[in-house]
């Protein structure tokens, strides 16, 4: 059966897909947006349960892109709060500030370890003058920028917990993008002279947050997409047909209903690997092989409802040690008090895992028990205060930058380049470590390109209305 014929078909209803749809719709284009989940927003959605609200891992909005900053503030029409960032790292029973504060680091590590950290860092600075080759792995990169002792104390364990593979097999790009070139020297300098680091979003001390959770950005984008366009939730793209180097249509499964959706232009924000395997006729074997070797890290989120007004004062707590089962926690009510019923709070734990592994396969009861035990052993909660929990599995949370990933991506991009009317955007869509602002920017840029070149033309309204009627 046929679905609507639109100017643009957008695959994925996270922030990248929604921003593309919003911008095209505002420019008078008709859009069909296809989202697999029941809710829109992708990784940046907010879940509500029994009056508690939480993001899939706390999401702060901060950007150095001033146009996008204005766009998001206008979209929220003033409905946001400014939150002071307060991040802590719990390591060897000591609480460390992030960004680093020299006295806190000194008292936490002790003079002897702190001196060793600075000594190792100085050694690497001298070595760097004689090494021309770029760092080959995450280990290389961190040792060069922070020294070996700091790498062993913090980065190695945490990175391997996050990624599930050896630091020597992780390409340096993730850490480069993550800390934006921040070295130990700059971190220390920032602690002494905060203005130095103020321009890096990694070190920003305040951020914007909608009072009912980050998902409000997606909600506002959805509300801004007019009735002439069509937004399909619970709808999975299962196939994408092409001929003569153009995408012809996508096949979308929604419950028992399967429909083909045609359009002039196609924008994919679904994981790059999924896109490649959906193409028909099938891409060459080398492209399929490259896609099958691109892996993502998945996430198990356990949100624990607690019968206490407040547990911590922080926005994030990082837990690098492998003996602690989760890698990061946040308390949504420290982001906005409206995130829980009065007098109650919630702690949200993130477990980094691979689909189908031991962590991913935990039952709700097991995942809750491990989390509550972990939180109790850290002295944060008493299990008698626990009111309930929500356990969620989030596939494709992080593109995994294994060494060789860049060549695999390039092989795929080279192949996709032949399709004049296919555009990729977003985090999983491009396989880049995008934050929300980058994801939205990538969608905005594609929409602008399509409007500027007139690529997404207006299609006759009659087809549109006839097609939509059966589905909404
Ligand atoms: C734990 C965590 C914390 C984060 N914290 C921050 C933060 O503090 N600040 C920040 O700026 N960024 C943060 N990010 C990053 C941010 O979430 C992403 O950059 C952004 O949400 C990506 O949007 P997207 O639209 O590109 O991708 P996604 O949100 O992944 O959207 C892709 C969509 O495609 C859908 N889809 C997949 N397959 C199909 C299919 N076959 N058919 C139809 N639909 C499909 C998915 O369901 C999804 O909704 C965080 C990410 C994680 C995982």
Q: What pLDDT sits at residue 113?
A: 85
Q: Is the CB of 11 under 6 A from ligand 1?
A: yes
CA of 60 to the centre of ligand 1 (A): 13
Q: Is the CB of 13 under 6 A from ligand 1?
A: yes
Tokens read off for 125: 């600075």
Q: What pLDDT sits at residue 187?
A: 62
Provide the 10 A C-beta neighbour count for residue 201: 15
pLDDT at 191 over 70: no
Q: What pLDDT sits at residue 417?
A: 97
Spatial separation of the C-alpha atoms in residues 270 and 426, rounded to whole Å: 8
Q: Is the CB of 40 under 6 A from ligand 1?
A: no
Q: Is the CB of 215 under 6 A from ligand 1?
A: no
Question: What does the DSSP 8-state code read for residue 384?
Answer: G
Provide the 10 A C-beta neighbour count for residue 385: 16
Q: Which residue has the higher pLDDT, 296 or 189?
A: 296
Q: Is the CB of 175 under 6 A from ligand 1?
A: no
Instruction: Render pLDDT for 275-290 as a digit per residue (tens, 0 to 9).
Output: 999 999 999 999 999 9
Q: Is the CB of 147 under 6 A from ligand 1?
A: no
Half-sphere exposure of 45 (CA within 13 A, CB side): 19
Instruction: Render pLDDT for 425-447 as a digit per residue (tens, 0 to 9).
Output: 999 999 999 999 999 999 999 99
Nearest-atom number in ligand 1 for the CA of 429 is 26
CA dihedral (69, 71, 76, 82) in degrees, to 10, reads 10
Domain with CATH 3.90.660.20 in the chain: 296-399
Instruction: Render pLDDT for 144-177 as a digit per residue (tens, 0 to 9).
Output: 888 898 888 888 998 899 999 999 999 888 777 6
pLDDT at 269 over 80: yes
Q: What pLDDT sits at residue 42?
A: 98
CATH code reported for the domain at 296-399: 3.90.660.20
Residue located nearest, by CA, to atom 14 of ligand 1: 435
Q: What pLDDT sits at residue 169?
A: 92
Q: Is the CB of 434 under 6 A from ligand 1?
A: yes
Let me know: does 272 contact 429? Beta carbons within 8 Å: yes
Q: Is the CB of 231 under 6 A from ligand 1?
A: no
Pairing status of strand 386-399 against strand 296-306: antiparallel
Q: Is the CB of 350 under 6 A from ligand 1?
A: yes
Nearest-atom number in ligand 1 for the CA of 437 is 11
Element (H, E) at 21: helix 15-26
CA of 275 to the centre of ligand 1 (A): 15
pLDDT at 102 over 70: no
Three-state DSSP class for 259?
Answer: strand
CA of 246 to the centre of ligand 1 (A): 27
Radius of gyration, alpha carbons of the chain = 23
Tokens read off for 406: 């860049």
Average pLDDT of the residues of the chain: 90
CA of 118 to the centre of ligand 1 (A): 38
Residue located nearest, by CA, to atom 3 of ligand 1: 57
Nearest to 320 by CA among 167, 174, 161: 161
Q: Which of 200-209, 241-250, 340-349, 415-424 has the lowest mean pLDDT?
A: 200-209
Pocket test for ligand 1, best of 17, 59, 71, 327 (most atoms within 8 A of CB): 59
Q: What pLDDT sits at residue 71?
A: 98
Q: What pLDDT sits at residue 3?
A: 67
Q: What pLDDT sits at residue 67?
A: 97
pLDDT at 199 over 70: no
Spatial separation of the C-alpha atoms in residues 431 and 409, rounded to whole Å: 8
pLDDT at 4 over 70: no
Burial class (CB within 10 angstroms; exposed 0-12, middle 13-18, buried 19+) of 362: buried
With a pLDDT cut of 90, the percent of the chain lying above it is 72
Cα separations (Å) of 160 from 91, 269, 321, 392? 15, 27, 10, 22
Spatial separation of the C-alpha atoms in residues 252 and 242, rounded to whole Å: 15
CA of 186 to the centre of ligand 1 (A): 30
Domain with CATH 3.50.50.60 in the chain: 2-44+212-294+402-469
Nearest-atom number in ligand 1 for the CA of 18 is 25
With a pLDDT cut of 70, the percent of the chain lying above it is 89
pLDDT at 349 over 60: yes
Instruction: Render pLDDT for 318-328 as a digit per residue (tens, 0 to 9).
Output: 999 999 999 99
Backbone angles phi, psi at 230, to 5 degrees: -135, 125
Assign 329 a pLDDT band (cuts: 50, 70, 90). Answer: very high
Q: Which of 46-55, 107-116, 334-343 has the lowest mean pLDDT?
A: 107-116
Q: What pLDDT sits at residue 91?
A: 87
Q: Is the CB of 374 under 6 A from ligand 1?
A: no
Element (H, E) at 239: strand 236-243
CA of 221 to the centre of ligand 1 (A): 15
Let me know: does 390 contact 401? Beta carbons within 8 Å: no
What superfamily does domain 2-44+212-294+402-469 belong to in CATH?
FAD/NAD(P)-binding domain (3.50.50.60)
């Amino acid at each position: 059966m046929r679905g609507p014929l639109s100017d643009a078909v957008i695959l994925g209803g996270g922030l990248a897909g929604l921003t593309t749809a919003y911008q095209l719709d505002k420019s008078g284009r008709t859009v069909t947006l296809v989202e697999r989940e029941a809710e829109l927003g992708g990784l940046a959605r907010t879940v509500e349960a029994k009056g508690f609200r939480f993001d899939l891992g706390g999401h702060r909005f901060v950007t150095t892109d001033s146009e996008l900053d204005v766009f998001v503030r206008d979209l929220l029409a003033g409905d946001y709060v400014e939150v002071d960032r307060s991040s802590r790292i719990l390591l060897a029973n000591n609480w460390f500030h992030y960004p680093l504060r020299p006295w806190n680091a000194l008292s936490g590590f002790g003079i002897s370890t702190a001196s060793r950290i600075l000594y190792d860092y100085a050694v690497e600075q001298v070595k760097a003058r004689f090494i021309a080759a770029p760092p080959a792995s995450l280990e290389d990169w961190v040792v060069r920028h922070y020294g070996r002792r700091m790498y062993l104390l913090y980065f190695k364990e945490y990175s391997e917990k996050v990624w599930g593979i050896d630091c020597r097999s992780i390409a340096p790009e993730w850490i480069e993008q993550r800390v934006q070139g921040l070295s130990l020297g700059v971190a220390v300098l920032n602690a002494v002279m905060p203005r130095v680091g103020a321009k890096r979003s990694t070190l920003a001390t305040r951020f914007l947050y909608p009072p009912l959770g980050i998902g409000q950005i997606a909600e506002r984008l959805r509300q801004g997409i007019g009735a002439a366009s069509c937004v399909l939730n619970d709808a999975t793209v299962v196939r994408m047909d092409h001929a003569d180097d153009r995408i012809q249509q996508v096949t979308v499964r929604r419950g028992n209903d399967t429909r083909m959706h045609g359009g002039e232009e196609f924008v994919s924000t679904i994981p790059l690997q999924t896109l490649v395997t959906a193409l028909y006729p099938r891409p060459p074997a080398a492209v399929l092989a490259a896609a099958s070797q691109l892996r993502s890290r998945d996430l198990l989120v356990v949100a624990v409802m607690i019968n206490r007004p407040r547990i911590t004062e922080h926005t994030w707590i990082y837990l690098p040690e492998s003996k602690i089962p989760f890698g990061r926690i946040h308390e949504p009510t420290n982001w906005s008090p409206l995130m829980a019923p009065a007098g109650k709070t919630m702690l949200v734990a993130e477990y980094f895992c691979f689909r189908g592994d031991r962590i991913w396969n935990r039952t709700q009861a097991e995942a809750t028990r491990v989390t509550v035990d972990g939180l109790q052993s850290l002295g944060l909660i008493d299990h008698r205060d626990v009111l309930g929990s929500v356990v969620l599995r989030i596939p494709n949370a992080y593109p995994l930058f294994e060494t060789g990933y860049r060549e695999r991506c390039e092989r795929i991009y080279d192949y996709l380049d032949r399709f004049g009317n296919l555009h990729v955007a977003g985090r999983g869509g491009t396989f880049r470590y995008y934050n929300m602002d980058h994801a939205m920017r990538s969608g905005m840029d594609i929409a602008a390109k399509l409007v500027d070149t007139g690529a997404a033309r207006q299609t006759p309204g009659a087809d549109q209305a006839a097609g939509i009627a059966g589905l909404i």
